[in-house]
């Protein structure tokens, strides 16, 4: 295996992104602005993997900058981590939309979007080669672990992955936000579990000291 430095990784990821822009063009409609690739430090020992970009991510071209991303960023900061220290990405690289009247809504990514994004996600992970991975929600867990997992059961557990690093399954931040709106006590519990999962993963990656 060839070890790459941060600058080489950045260059390899920029080339991969350009390739993805061409290859994923058939998925783009007038709804999408751009392909949303990973962001942060490509030499980070910790990668966070979500499902697919939403409307803010589509506009800005950066994963997790909408409401879910704000929750994620706050939790990272509470742990003493800056999101720029991590590699943050999604398994699907384009915003999955459906039309409702004149507005565009986010829907779960379909098989075609997952399938087309898959080789780019795999190659992205092979370049970044983190020491530990966090899987945010069921879609990321299924894509990376290779089978359908119930997040309610798998949360907090480590799984082997094809990327040479173990992955910890946790809640998707949008699930926590929904729960906070519906049932504040359960929302607070889920948030505490999420924070704990991120701490454990950062410790395993060597970004935070063990307590
Ligand atoms: N949800 C995701 O899974 N990824 C994002 O980038 C934003 C919201």
- Kindly report, residue by residue over 105-144, the tens digit of the pLDDT: 999 999 999 999 999 999 999 999 999 999 999 999 999 9
> Closest ligand 1 atom, CA of 136?
3
- Kindly report, residue by residue over 47-82, the tens digit of the pLDDT: 999 999 999 999 999 999 999 999 999 999 999 999
| Inside any domain, residue 1 | no
pTM metric for this prediction: 0.97
What pLDDT sits at residue 211? 76
- Kindly report, residue by residue over 2-46, the tens digit of the pLDDT: 689 999 999 999 999 999 999 999 999 999 999 999 999 999 999
pLDDT at position 1 over 70: no
Q: Domain with 14 in it: what CATH number?
A: 3.40.470.10
Does ligand 1 lie within 6 Å of residue 50's CB atom?
Answer: yes
| Inside any domain, residue 134 | yes
Range of the domain at 47: 6-205
Does ligand 1 lie within 6 Å of residue 52's CB atom?
Answer: yes
| Inside any domain, residue 44 | yes
- One DSSP character per residue, the chain reads -----HHHHHHHHHHHHHHHHHHTGGG--TT-------EE-TT-SEEEEES---HHHHHHTSSS-SHHHHHHHHHHHHTT--GGGSEEEESS-S--EEEETTEEEE----HHHHHHHHHHHHHHHHHH--SEEEEESHHHHHHHHSS---HHHHTT-EE--TTSS-EEEE--HHHHHHHHHH-HHHHHHHHHHHHHHHHHHHHHHTSS---
| Inside any domain, residue 210 | no
| Inside any domain, residue 105 | yes
Question: How many structural domains is the chain composed of?
Answer: 1
Site to substitute for ligand 1 among 35, 37, 51, most atoms within 8 A of C-beta: 51
């Amino acid at each position: 295996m060839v070890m790459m430095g941060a600058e080489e990784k950045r260059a390899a990821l920029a080339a991969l992104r350009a390739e993805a822009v061409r290859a994923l063009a058939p998925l783009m409609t007038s709804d999408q602005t751009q392909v949303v690739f990973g962001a942060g430090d490509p030499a980070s020992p910790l990668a966070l993997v979500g499902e697919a970009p939403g409307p803010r991510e589509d506009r800005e071209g950066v994963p997790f900058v909408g409401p879910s991303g704000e929750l994620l960023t706050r939790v990272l900061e509470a742990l003493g981590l800056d999101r720029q220290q991590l590699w943050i990405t999604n398994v699907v690289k384009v915003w999955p939309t459906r039309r409702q009247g004149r507005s565009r809504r986010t829907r779960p990514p379909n098989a075609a979007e997952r399938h087309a994004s898959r080789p780019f996600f795999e190659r992205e992970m092979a370049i970044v080669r983190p020491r530990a991975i966090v899987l945010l929600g069921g879609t990321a867990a299924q894509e990376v672990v290779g089978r359908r997992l119930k997040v309610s059961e798998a949360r907090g557990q480590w799984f082997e992955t094809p990327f040479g690093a173990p992955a910890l399954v946790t809640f998707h931040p949008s699930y926590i936000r929904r729960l906070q709106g519906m049932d504040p006590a359960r929302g607070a519990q889920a948030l505490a579990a999420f924070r704990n999962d991120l701490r454990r993963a950062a410790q395993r990656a060597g970004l935070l000291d063990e307590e």
